Amino acid sequence: MVRLVAVTNPKWLNPAEMKAWRGFVSTSSDLLNLIARDLESFGIDGGDYQLLAMLSEAPDQKLKMCDLAERLRLSRSGLTRRMDGVLKAKYVSQVRDSHDGRVVFAHLTKKGFDFIKKVAPHHLESVRSRMIDLLSPTEIHAFGSGFEKIAKNVKQSD
Amino acid sequence: MVRLVAVTNPKWLNPAEMKAWRGFVSTSSDLLNLIARDLESFGIDGGDYQLLAMLSEAPDQKLKMCDLAERLRLSRSGLTRRMDGVLKAKYVSQVRDSHDGRVVFAHLTKKGFDFIKKVAPHHLESVRSRMIDLLSPTEIHAFGSGFEKIAKNVKQSD
DNA sequence: CGAATCTAGTTGCGCACGCAACTATCACCG
DNA sequence: CGGTGATAGTTGCGTGCGCAACTAGATTCG
């Protein structure tokens, strides 16, 4: 990250701050990749899992494409492509809204629901063993409150 | 994430655990994207910045390609391509090792050093304002220790 | 020594994604 | 109404990356 900040003086990270930042940067991608990899043995990749999970939690198990895209942190076009797989697998169907001809709902099918119901416990176990169960209650709480603050700041930066 | 875990019984996340997990998943990519975006106004993308930063901290400001790839969480081929840009910009040069003809060192040039020295304070300010300064000392410490534990677990899973 | 194996790096190929452009629909307003 | 602009979704194109295959150089062992 380079020393020599002297000139434009925001003060350098102290050791604890540094450890938090570096830990976050280097570990978060590793962790997410590992959890995605765990899912692959059940025949689904991380992106598709998140998609089905989002739908499974939505009222009526359906969401407008653009809302779904936002929750998945995908662009609208990215989601269009993501949908190909889960549509072909019949895990999700698309329904045009009768009240607003622009919007299309992504709707979790019975097959999709059964599938994710089967996979979810393994995913949960993966999340627990690779992250949650490793952390103390204090750390759990700090992750929750910390990311909440960060998220709030992110949102107000659009 | 789907209810109905009943059958294969790892117990569901309690509210605090859930908040930690969801906060992490949804916020970490937002945060990283935002910080990368901050860098772009200085004419560099997040990937290239990390590359230069790694080299700037290495002894002699050089690293074997494969070590660099590992630290950047890139595949070897991914790094080969990443190098194109920073080589063309003359921020980095490549030197074949005289003792082992297979290895190539990526070496930060004077130009590259001057460049990152100029950008680093802004990056630091970005990291501070979007993450570090938002967190309490307790949270900073918990992020550090938490990610350390997770990282240890990740490494032993190869 | 020579053959099999390992390691470092590059190249071919495919995939997932974002951005910009386009179409279709809706909402606002003169 | 009809026109202007916003919004939802898809398609064309470029990019970044991983995997597999390949080359070149090192290491191990009979």
What would the DSSP string read from start to end of A40-60? HTTT--HHHHHHHHHHHHSGG
Closest A-chain CA to B22: A144
Distance of alpha carbon A79 from alpha carbon A46, whole angstroms: 14
Residue numbers in B near A9 (CB within 8 A): 121
Residue numbers in A near B9 (CB within 8 A): 121
Distances (CA, A) of B157 to A31, A37, A73, A123, B25: 11, 11, 28, 16, 20
Inter-chain residue contact A1 with B157, CB threshold 8 Å: no
Q: Each residue of A53-84: pLDDT tens digit? A: 999 999 999 999 999 999 999 999 999 999 99
Give the bases of strand D that a protein CB approaches within 7 Å: 7-12, 16-21, 24-27
Structure tokens at B87: 């080589």
SS3 B8: helix
Q: How far is the CA of B77 from the C1' of C11 (A)?
A: 9
What strand order describes the sheet that includes A62-64? A62-64, A104-108, A92-96
Q: Each residue of A84-108: pLDDT tens digit? A: 999 999 999 999 999 999 999 999 9
Tell whether the model's pLDDT for residue B5 goes beyond 50.
no
Total Cβ atoms within 10 A of residue A57? 14
Distance of alpha carbon A96 from alpha carbon B81, whole angstroms: 42
Q: How far is the CA of A10 from the C1' of D7 (A)?
A: 41
Q: Write the residue in B27, B132, B146 that is nearest to A154 by C-beta.
A: B27
Residue numbers in B near A25 (CB within 8 A): 32
Q: Each residue of B57-91: pLDDT tens digit? A: 999 999 999 999 999 999 999 999 999 999 999 99
Q: How many CB pairs lie under 8 A apart between chains A and B?
A: 201
What is the radius of gyration, based on Cα positions, of chain A? 20
Structure tokens at A50: 């998140």
Question: Which pTM was predicted?
Answer: 0.92
Handedness of CA B119, B125, B126, B127 (dihedral sign): positive
> How far off is chain A from B70, nearest CA to CA, in Å?
11
What confidence score (pLDDT) does residue B116 get? 97
| Residue whose C-alpha is closest to residue A12's, from A24, A22, A2 | A2
Tell whether the model's pLDDT for residue B106 goes beyond 60.
yes
Q: Each residue of A10-35: pLDDT tens digit? A: 789 999 999 999 999 999 999 999 99
